[in-house]
Amino acid sequence: MPKTPVSDSITGQLVFLGTGTSHGVPMIGCGCATCTSDNPKNHRTRCAVVVGLPEGNLLVDTPPELRLQLVRERIGLIHAVLYTHEHADHLFGLDDARIFPLYLGRELPIYCEANVEAVIRCSFGYAFDPAVRDYPAGGVPKLVFRRIDTRPFQVLGARVIPVRLEHGRYQVLGFRWGNVAYCTDVKAIPPESMALLQDLDVLILDCLRHEPHVTHMNMEEALETIRRLTPRRALLTHMSHRLEHEATSRTLPAGVELAYDGLRVPLRSSLVERAVGHDGA
Instruction: Please state the domain extents for the chain.
Output: 13-265
CATH class of the domain at 13-265: alpha beta
Report pLDDT for 237: 98
Q: How far apart are CA 54 and CA 203, in angstroms?
A: 21
* Residue 46, beta-bridge partner list: 20
H helix intervals, 62-205? 66-72, 88-91, 100-104, 114-123, 130-133, 191-194
Q: Judging by DSSP bridges, how do beta strands 80-82 and 56-60 pair with one another? A: parallel
**Mean pLDDT (whole number) for 242-259:** 98
Predicted pLDDT of residue 133: 66
Question: Is residue 122 scored above 80 in pLDDT?
Answer: yes
So what's the pLDDT on residue 129? 85
278 or 53: which carries more pLDDT confidence? 53
Nearest to 101 by CA among 54, 63, 141, 139: 141
**For range 166-191, the mean pLDDT:** 96
Residue 271's pLDDT band (cuts 50, 70, 90): low
In this structure, are strands 153-155 and 202-206 parallel, antiparallel, or unpaired?
unpaired
Q: Please give the pLDDT value at position 137.
A: 54
Q: What is the pLDDT of residue 69?
A: 98
For 82-103, how does the pLDDT look when each residue is reduced to its tens digit (9 = 90+)? Answer: 999 999 999 999 999 999 999 9
* pLDDT, tens digit, 9 for 90 and up, residues 150-164: 999 999 999 999 999
pLDDT of residue 277: 40
Measured between alpha carbons, how far is 211 from 267 in angstroms, rounded to an integer? Answer: 32
- The whole-number pLDDT of residue 274 equals 43
- Quote the pTM value: 0.93
Alpha-helical segments (H) within the chain: 66-72, 88-91, 100-104, 114-123, 130-133, 191-194, 219-229, 245-249, 269-272
Q: What phi and psi values does residue 144 have, to the nearest 5 degrees?
A: -135, 130
Alpha-carbon Rg for the chain, nearest whole angstrom, is 18
Residue 199, Ramachandran bin (φ over 0: left; ψ between -120 and 50: alpha; else beta): left
Does position 138 have pLDDT exceeding 80, yes or no?
no
H or E stretch at 174: strand 170-177
Task: State mean pLDDT over 65-90.
Answer: 98
pLDDT-based confidence at residue 141 (cuts at 50, 70, 90): confident
Q: What percent of the chain has pLDDT over 90?
A: 86
